[in-house]
Structure formats: structure tokens, C-alpha cells
Structure 1
């Protein structure tokens, strides 16, 4: 069985399920964790005599026996949803903590191929570690400061005058999404607010190309944005209508990216890089669960098929 853990309306999950069907994979299941606990039963049976048994049984559906799962795509796990009648925050915190511990323990018992391993996936999402590991494998990275010190921030701004520093958040939080942007005078006037939460500051990287590189197992799918038509220089995500075309990376960059994937322990990753006017390839970040359909549709790269084939193989590509 192939288990996909995501939202029931996730178009990326649906695209890969379609590819799995075309490959002839019949035993596949899309699990939406937001159905727990009210519409999903969890059962873990352990004793000295019988094999361990882990079952997830959605309301009115057949059970999914976790020990029968050969591959898992940890795509976009949804948060558990307690009943609206449960309002006491202490009881809610307790219920969430118990559920998280039970599920995490069950996932760790699985011997399936995980895309990605949930511990590695969470660790690789941390931007300080990403940049450290990228540097270790020989990739170029921007000069970066992560701090909650207004004084440190001010010194970094002075190091790169003339509006050449960008800032961005560590994570995307619902309701408080922030795009990558330049540090302008109006932001500097609020420098005291840096004290309340660390901020990522980086030297702005001039680009002749923005790259989105999707890696599935050992396959590399590189796409280049048509930056001549971009409306926003600092954050390629805001250029929703920009076109991508497939491109070829230098072999040494490919090998460094595969080494980075190996060091992070990831089977899948979506990487953002920039090519400078001098021809230098600069690593910006990696998203262990990054979007890929917009690249697939624009550049014609078969990423959904590659993911389906990798899941169907059940083979781990990382040490």
C-alpha cells in the first residue's frame, strides 16, 4: 500500500494519485489527519506473542493497516481537529499532546519508504541548518544574519548600504504571511521590533536567472524563470504569471545538491537558487514539501510521475 498524508483537496496529492493509477498501483490511500479524532480511529496493539498492529480506521471506511504500507508521502499533514464543544485550553492542549505522541510513535515504527522521513523533514525545514549544510557541500550562500538584536541588524544594514539587504521570515504562519522584501527606511524606523522575534537578513543577490530545482530521489528537475517579465525582484513567489522553462545545471552543482539532499536525509526537496551576472549559482533555501505543479505545468517537467514512480518503487535513495 502507498499512503499519502495530506488534505483531501490537495491538488498535488491528486496529481500523484492519478500517476499512481496510470502506473497500475491499485492499493493507495489518501489520509487527511484533520479527521482525527472525531472521524478517524487509531488503534495500536502490542504484546509479547503477536506481531505489532497499527490501524487507522476512518468513519464508514475500511481500516488502513500501517504495517502493510510500503511507502508514505508526508505531503502536507493536516492538524488534528478537536470538536468545537471542547473549549478548555488545558484539555485541548492535553488532547493534542496525546494525539501527537501516539501518532509520532506509530510513524517511527514504520519500515516503509518515507518521502520524507518526518524527523528529517522537520529538521530540514530550519533555515539555519539548511544554509550550514549547503555551505558544507560547497554551495555558495548569501551573506546572512539571523538575529533579534536591533544593534546587530543595524550593523548589517550599514555593511550593505543603498537598499541591498532583504529580510524574510523563518516560517510561513497562517494569517501572518510575509514576502521577502528589501529593508527600506520605513522598516528601519521599526528596528526596535526586531527584539521581539529573530529576523533573517541577507545581502540581496542580483540575478540573471531564478531557478526552481525539484529533486525526487536521485532525479533532478531544474527550471529557470523568465525574469525579464518579473514584477517583483526579491521574491519569485509573487510573480505568479511568470513562465518557467527546463534548464540544465552544471554537473558540479548537481552533485552538490545531491550531497545536500543526502546530508539532510531528504527523498524530496524543492530548492530555490539564483544565478548571478557573474555566473555564480547561489543557494537560497530548500523546502522539503515545496510546491511543484506550477513548475510541472509551465516547464513540462514530469515531477508527478517521478514522485509516483519513486513511491511505487519503495526504495530509499538516501543513506
Structure 2
């Protein structure tokens, strides 16, 4: 049985479930945010054996739910787990702080502990491995070792180092955040060019670390999705759009078209090697193709979105993800 850990509104999981259903596979989808309010999760030790059980109760807010209906899932039957976009446990609504915070944190630690006992292949990797793989400086270190073309970069909160890079690049520099923290209300900081006016306030850098990087000239940007040993590459024509030219995440539909891209074999091999070096079997890499044909590494996301690429280009990424999960499910002990 395949266990998919993700939020209920995850369209990537929806697409994968449709493919799993088409193949007649056995799976269960679960959001850890439902513990403890809507799901009972338990681990028991008896007669020298450890067992794990998940019981999903009917949603009392759903008028159509059967009060007697509940789903019992034997987690010992799990053969592969997909850590897609799992939520963090939420305390029952009737609890207020500090009790709600206490319950949520205790539940988070317990749920994470349970997943660690699932000695089965994990996509993209076990959670501690994924968290470590998100570290941008370590990514840069490994990319350099593997021979990627990496832009001149400074990471940290040293104004002098940032000023030195600004001079080194002739004022052609961008800034982006180190981690995945949102500013509030889900707002993220996008990649932005650093101006001479910005540099006038460089002393403010000491208050928060960030990434400063040489601005790489772009012909197109690439989204490279690695699934196991397979590589799916899409070109993002970000330079056609004033919104997306510095950060393709600001793409505006038809003004930022995507198309399949034939990635050179040596670059594709480096993408697979970097994914493996981070302990992952899945990764979404961002590269830049310069006007003179260089392929420049920017970063890798262990849980990067891919469905938008598939829908725009027809690249069969969902099928490749399901291939990995079902291979592990049908071959006990197989690695992803």
C-alpha cells in the first residue's frame, strides 16, 4: 500500500491518484494536519512486536458524513510513502492557547516519529533528508563539486561581502531569500535586482542573512524535474515578460510560455547526480541558459511543483512519479 501524505487541496496528489486508480494500485491519502482533531494515530508494542494504526473519523462538520463510518488503516502494510505537501498537526478547535500550542507541538513530534518508523522507500526522501536537502549553501557546495556552472554568490549578513560582490559584478546583482519563510499571509520574497540605490542601504544587510548573486544573462530559464533516473526539462521563456524576467515565478500566462527542452546529456547527468548526492529520488532544479549557451545552476527544490510543467508541455512527470511509487509497492525492499 502506498501512503500519500499531503493536504486535501493538493492537485499534484489528485493527478497521481487518478493514475494510481487507472493502474489498479492500492493507496491511501492522509494529511497529518488532521491529527489529533479528526484522526487517531497510534503505535503499540505487544508480544515483542510494534504495530501502527491510523483511524480516520467522519468529519462532524460534513452533514453528509456517516457517523458510524470510519476508516482504519494498518500502517504496517505501507510499502512506499510520498511526502508530498504534508501539513502540520492542528489542535482541536475548542482548545485555546497555551494548550492548543502544546497539543499541536506534541502531535507534530509524535507524527514525525511515526513516519520515521516506516522503514520503506520514501519520495522524495525521509523527512530529515528533505529538510537537509533544502539548505541552499549545501546545495551550492555540492553543485560546485559536481562541475555545475555556478554564479558568483555571497550568502549571509556581512555588508562588506555584499558590497564586494556588487563591485565584482559591476552592479549586476540579484537578491533572494535563504530559506522558505513567508513574510506573512503566505507572501514570499521574489528574486529582485539590486540597484545602486539599494546598495546605499547595505548596512541593513547585517539584520538578516540573504543570498546575493551575480545576475546571469538569460536566453531562457529551465525547470529540470528529476524523477529517479529520468529527467524532464522545460524551457521557460521568461524574458518575454516584464513581470517574470527576474523571477519566473511571476509568470503571466501566455507572456511566459513553456516548451520541452533537449537538455545536453552531461548537464542532465549532473542534475541526477546532484539529486542523488542530496539523498533524494526527486528534485526540481532551476537552471539558466545564457545567450552564449552556458547552462548555469541556480537551485534545487526537493518538493518542487511539477504539474504546471506537465500541463503546459505534456511531459509525463506524474506517470514517472507513480512508476517509482508502484515499483516500490510491488517489489518489497526496492529503492526509489
TM-score range, shorter chain: over 0.9
Partner residue, 1:121: 130
Cα distance, 1:81 vs structure 2: 1.1
Cα distance, 1:189 vs structure 2: 3.8
Bigger mean CA offset, 219-228 vs 33-42:
219-228
Find the partner of 2:272 among 251, 255, 258.
Answer: 258
The list of structure 1 runs, each at least 4 consecutive aligned residues, that deviate by more than 6 angstroms after superposition, is: none
In 1, distance between residues paired with 2:40 and 2:238?
49
| 2:156 matches 1:147 | yes
**Kept after mapping to 2: 8 A contact 1:267/1:316:** no
| 2:332 matches 1:316 | no
Secondary structure, in 3 states, of the residue corresponding to 1:311?
helix
What TM-score results when the alignment is normalised by the length of structure 1? Answer: 0.93
The aligned runs of 1:35-184 (5 Å cut-off) are 35-47=34-46, 49-60=47-58, 61-89=70-98, 91-116=99-124, 117-162=126-171, 164-174=172-182, 175=184, 176-184=187-195
In 1, distance between residues paired with 2:101 and 2:196?
42
In 2, distance between residues paired with 1:228 and 1:177?
21
Cα distance, 1:50 vs structure 2: 4.2
**Kept after mapping to 1: 8 A contact 2:241/2:252:** no
**Kept after mapping to 2: 8 A contact 1:166/1:202:** yes
Partner residue, 2:296: 282
In 1, distance between residues paired with 2:135 and 2:100?
27
| 2:245 matches 1:217 | no
In 2, distance between residues paired with 1:56 and 1:198?
41
Q: Unmatched 5+ residue regions in structure 2?
A: 59-69, 329-333
Q: Deviations over 1:149-187 (max 9, x none)?
A: 22222222122223x100001223342411000011343
In 2, distance between residues paired with 1:84 and 1:161?
55
In 1, distance between residues paired with 2:303 and 2:319?
16
Figure out how many residues of one structure are paired with residues of the other and give that number.
313
Partner residue, 1:305: 319
What TM-score results when the alignment is normalised by the length of structure 2? Answer: 0.88
Partner residue, 1:3: 3
In 2, distance between residues paired with 1:159 and 1:33?
47
Q: Deviations over 1:131-163 (max 9, x none)?
A: 11111111111111011122222222122223x
Find the partner of 1:269 among 279, 283, 287.
Answer: 283
CA-based RMSD of the aligned residues comes to 1.7
In 2, distance between residues paired with 1:107 and 1:240?
38
